[in-house]
Amino acid sequence: MPLLDSLIAPISRIIDKVIPDPEARDRAKLELLRLEHSQETDLLQARLSAIIAEAGSGDPWTSRARPGFLYVMYAIILWALPMGLIGAFSPETANAIASGMTAYLQGIPEPLYALFGTGYLGYSAMRQWGKIKGSDR
């Protein structure tokens, strides 16, 4: 539960800043404390421990899979920069390329986009947590 203990205080501070009504703020904090001991908390802890285990794995394929996947997605997204330059000099060519890229991106299954979002958020959260904890410098 040390991970959860480290999350409760920051979430409580966010509640203090976001909810102006003292009564509603107290109810939100009480719900947060209830959540601390619920099954959802145990499930969250299990998920986060799996991410930590992956990141700390000695196997380079396991520990680098998530960042590698993110780099591939970044490359796909950053392709917009050269497309902007092509569009400045040849709008017809840019439109043809954009049509092809649109068809390509629409062909990627929705679960892959969901996997990207989940991986990105999980990786970012664990990197931030590691920095706060001081173990990730």
CA distance linking residue 48 with residue 80, whole number of Å? 33
- For residue 23, is it within any domain? no
Q: What is the pLDDT of residues 71-121, one digit of tens each?
A: 888 887 888 788 888 989 999 998 998 898 889 888 888 888 888 778 777
Q: Full-prediction pTM beyond 0.85?
A: no
Number of separate domains in the chain: 1
- For residue 54, is it within any domain? no
Containing structural domain, residue 98: 59-133
- For residue 47, is it within any domain? no
CA distance linking residue 14 with residue 31, whole number of Å? 14
- For residue 114, is it within any domain? yes
* pLDDT of the residue at 54: 64
CA atoms within 13 A on the CB side of 114: 3
CB-based burial label for 120 (10 Å; 0-12, 13-18, 19+): middle
